[in-house]
């Protein structure tokens, strides 16, 4: 699936929607489907699910879980067109890191980045790096 949408809006950074947290460990397929359905009903035809700074293991787990849910739901696949991986390779300086937890920020690592990209199953469309 490409990044094509109908005639609605496209959002590059969505951490969740209508009470559904894409970074929550308890995210269910039904919640993801409902969030996508609600977004479409509000004029958003496509978005990038943003997975934010945490341990690379937790981030990889979230990416893989959402990618698997997307693969089994046509509405989700049509709406969630990819991932925005935001962190953990960002600047820890106050004022630059925003709301990202300083304890999870770490130096960029090709091996860890490749693990995140692999977990995203080819759906990575945007990465935020801020050394």
Residue 113 sits in a domain whose CATH number is 3.20.20.140
- pLDDT tier, 51 (very low <50, low <70, confident <90, very high otherwise): very high
Domain count, the chain: 1
On whether residue 2 sits in a domain, the answer given is: no
Distance CA 102, CA 3 (A): 32
On whether residue 43 sits in a domain, the answer given is: yes
pTM of the model: 0.92
Domain extent, residue 26, equals 9-130
Confidence check: pLDDT of 18 > 60:
yes
On whether residue 104 sits in a domain, the answer given is: yes
On whether residue 3 sits in a domain, the answer given is: no
Per-residue model confidence as pLDDT tens digits over 84-97: 999 999 999 988 88
On whether residue 89 sits in a domain, the answer given is: yes
On whether residue 1 sits in a domain, the answer given is: no
β-bridge pairing 16-17 and 20-21: antiparallel
On whether residue 118 sits in a domain, the answer given is: yes
Q: CB-hemisphere CA count at 13 Å for 39? A: 30
């Amino acid at each position: 699936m490409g990044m094509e949408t109908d005639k609605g809006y496209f959002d590059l950074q969505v951490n969740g929607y209508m009470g559904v947290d894409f970074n929550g460990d308890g995210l269910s397929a039904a919640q993801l489907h409902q969030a996508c359905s609600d977004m479409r009903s509000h004029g958003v035809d496509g978005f990038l699910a943003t997975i934010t700074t945490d341990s690379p293991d937790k981030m990889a787990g979230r990416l893989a879980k959402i990618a698997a849910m997307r693969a089994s739901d046509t509405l989700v696949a049509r709406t969630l067109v990819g991932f925005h991986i935001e962190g953990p390779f960002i600047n820890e300086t106050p004022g630059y890191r925003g709301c990202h937890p300083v304890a999870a920020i770490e130096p960029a690592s090709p091996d860890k980045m490749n693990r995140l990209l692999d977990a995203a199953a080819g759906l990575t469309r945007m990465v935020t790096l801020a050394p």
